[in-house]
Structures are given as C-alpha cells and as structure tokens.
C-alpha cells in the first residue's frame, strides 16, 4: 500500500502529526460495538468494505485510491469506486495515514452521500491498527474519522514494542499448520497488539491482524478468516485489483484486465461455533 519516498517532512510537521495521532487515538474503541460482531455466524452483517492505495510504477506521487463493498457472506462486489490522486505528503514510517487516509476518507464520504444503502458495516484496511509505533495506525485513523468499525490487515510484521521477525517468531509461524491457526503478538509492554493468522491452507505466510476501531481483536480475526478465499481477505484483494485496473485504464497501459474472481471458487467455511458446526459460509 505504501511506497517509500526520498526525503521527509520537517520536524515541525512530524510533531504536528504526532499530536494529531495522540488526539485521535483517544477516540479509538477496541471492543465490539455491533450485535453482529458478537454473533458466531456474524448474523446481521451484510456488507464488508475494503480500501487500497496503489501506485503508478516508478512514481511516488501518482496513485489510485479505491473503495470496494462486498456482500456478506457471498463476497461479491456490489460497489466500487476508484480515483487517481496525487500524494503530496511523503512516506514516513509510522505516519502512513497522513499520506493516504484523506483520499480514502473522501471515497467513504462520497458513498455515504450518494449510496447510503451500500455503506459497509466494517472496513478491512491494508495496514496496521493498534499494532503501531504509537498505537494508532492507518486502520485506527480511518476508523475514527469515518466512525466505522475497522480492521488492520498487514502482510508484514511491524517490529514495535519488542516484536521481532526473529528465529522464535519464524518458529511460531512454522507451527501454524492449517487455515485459521493463529498466535498472539505480545509486546514487551505486556500488551497483545494483534494476532498472526494463517489465512489460507495454501499460504504459509501469515497476516498480521490488529484492532482498528469499534471491533475486538477476536472478532477481527474471525471476520478476516471468513473473508479469505486466498491469503489476502477478499475486500482488500478486490480493492487492490480495482485500483490497479483503474491505473491501467487511466494511463492506457498495455495488458489484459486483472481477473476479479475465479468462477469456480467456493465460499470458505467460517470458524466453528459452540455447536461444532460451521458458523457461516463466507
């Protein structure tokens, strides 16, 4: 999602960003706020959103921001919107939100105004939530500003609070044998910052799930698993496809369209509930 750029903002800008993160962090809710989040089958959840920012190859300024909404549990795209944007803020580790969230926020607000019936009930974000240098990553930032439940879904471990991608961490990953296996990301502070989740049987690389806003970590992990037809949860995967395809069309780049979804792909069974039966097909 992020592309590192040369140089960086002045110290006064970083100080301003830190103060803004601290101010907004006070509004983060790290528990379930919706009835459907506490239901083993996610009964009542009908729309799941995903966001992504993709970059023009070799260009640290031009990018495409995308929002998609999928039906749940079918995981079919019911809404998508992409727009080319110019990123004026440089990439600085720990401050990704100031580079990308303004454009994602505009997409959510546009949907809220034009098609309120298609508003997602939760957003899956390509990035971290509370698993962050200051406990306020892009998923928290977007969640607080939109007031939507948000889940951080990262592809790589952000090494904060003593978390390291060392031999012990790699051994824990090796022990994730099947889809749905996970282990907590316990920082030196004693805080569980997220979960490492094996999201698909065909991938040994875990996802790093963290709370963004208005959703517990347990529910966030369950929902992510339910949304995975492949390693990457479908809302995030479809947002990525949508943004890359928009770039291809906008710039007249050669190549065939990216396939959206395999025709024969069956829904994934969600984790089992107390009855021992799959709680939902998702």
pTM (global) more than 0.85: yes
Residue 3 has pLDDT above 50, yes or no: no
Q: What is the pLDDT of residue 60?
A: 86
Q: What's the rounded mean pLDDT across residues 92-100?
A: 95
pLDDT per residue as tens digits for the range 39-73 = 999 999 999 999 999 999 989 899 999 999 999 99
The overall longest dimension of the chain from CA atoms, in Å, is: 57
Q: Average pLDDT of the chain? A: 91
Q: What are the phi and psi torsion angles at 37 (to 5°)?
A: -70, -30
Q: Which residues contact 32 (CB under 8 A, 6 or more apart)?
A: 38, 214, 215, 216, 219
Q: Write out pLDDT tens, residues 5-33.
A: 446 788 999 999 999 999 999 999 999 99
Mean pLDDT score, 107-115: 98
Q: What average pLDDT score do residues 140-157 get?
A: 98
Domains of the chain in start order, with CATH, are 23-251 (3.30.2170.10)
User: Has residue 1 got a pLDDT over 70?
Assistant: no
Angle in degrees, 0-180, between the axes of helices 97-114 and 11-25, rounded to the nearest 10: 50
How would you label 234-252 residue by residue, b for 16+ Cβ within 10 Å and e otherwise?
bbbbbbbbbbbbbbbeeee
Q: Which pLDDT score is estimated for 224?
A: 98
Looking at residue 281, its pLDDT comes to 30
The confidence band for 129, taking pLDDT boundaries of 50, 70 and 90, is: very high
The DSSP call for residue 193 is E
∠ at Cα 28 (25, 30), nearest 5°?
135
- Helices 138-146 and 97-114: crossing angle, nearest 10°? 30
Q: What is the pLDDT of residue 280?
A: 36
pLDDT at 271 over 90: no
Task: Identify the H or E element spanning 78.
Answer: strand 77-86
């Amino acid at each position: 999602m992020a592309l590192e750029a040369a140089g960086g903002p002045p110290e006064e800008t970083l100080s301003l960003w830190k103060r803004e993160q601290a101010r907004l962090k006070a509004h983060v809710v790290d528990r379930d706020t919706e009835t459907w989040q506490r239901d083993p089958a996610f009964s009542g959840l009908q729309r799941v959103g995903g966001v992504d920012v993709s970059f023009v190859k070799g260009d640290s300024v031009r990018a495409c921001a995308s929002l998609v909404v999928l039906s749940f549990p079918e995981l079919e795209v019911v809404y998508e919107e992409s727009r080319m944007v110019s990123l004026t803020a440089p990439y600085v580790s720990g401050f990704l939100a100031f580079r990308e969230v303004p454009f994602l926020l505009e997409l959510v607000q546009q949907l809220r105004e034009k098609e309120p019936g298609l508003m997602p009930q939760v957003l899956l974000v390509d990035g971290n939530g509370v698993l962050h240098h200051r406990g306020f990553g892009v998923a928290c930032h977007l969640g607080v500003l939109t007031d939507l439940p948000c889940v951080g879904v990262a592809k790589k471990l952000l090494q904060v609070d003593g978390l390291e991608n060392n031999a012990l961490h790699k051994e824990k990953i090796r022990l994730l044998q099947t889809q749905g296996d996970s282990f907590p990301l316990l920082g030196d502070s004693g805080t569980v910052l997220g979960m490492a989740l094996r999201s698909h049987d065909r991938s040994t690389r875990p996802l790093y799930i963290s709370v963004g806003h208005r959703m517990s970590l347990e529910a966030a992990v369950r929902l992510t698993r339910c949304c995975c037809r492949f390693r990457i949860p479908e809302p995030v995967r479809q947002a990525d496809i949508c943004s890359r395809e928009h770039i291809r069309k906008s710039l007249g780049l050669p190549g065939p369209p990216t396939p959206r979804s395999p025709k024969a792909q069956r829904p994934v069974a969600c984790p089992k509930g107390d009855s021992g039966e799959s709680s939902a097909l998702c």
